[in-house]
Amino acid sequence: KYKNIAGVEEKLTYTDTYAQENVTIDMEKVDFKALQGISGINVSAEDAKKGITMAQMELVMKAAGFKEVK
């Protein structure tokens, strides 16, 4: 679902019991307008114009149900 979005890389790993999705977002290169089209990611038009911080993006993604894995 992130295919062809500048600044976003996605890796899917499948096992016998689960699937894991790793999403890497380069906050300096990401196309925020393209992210608006992704289900579950709500970036306002205003934020898409000016860009958002990593902390703001973290809140958006957590609100959409994403979990951080360190």
Phi, psi of 26 (to 5 degrees): -85, 105
15 pLDDT higher than 80: yes
Name the token pair of 6.
């500048």
Residue 43 burial by Cβ neighbours in a 10 Å radius (0-12, 13-18, 19+) = buried
Q: Average per-residue pLDDT in the chain? A: 79
Rounded CA-CA distance 44/32 in Å is 9
Tens digit of each residue's pLDDT (9 = 90 or more) over 17-59: 988 888 888 878 888 777 777 756 666 667 666 767 778 878 8
Instruction: Give strand ranges (E) for the chain.
Output: 8-14, 19-25
The model scores a pTM over 0.85: no
pLDDT at 3: 80
Query: Tokens 């306002």 sit at which residue?
Result: 44
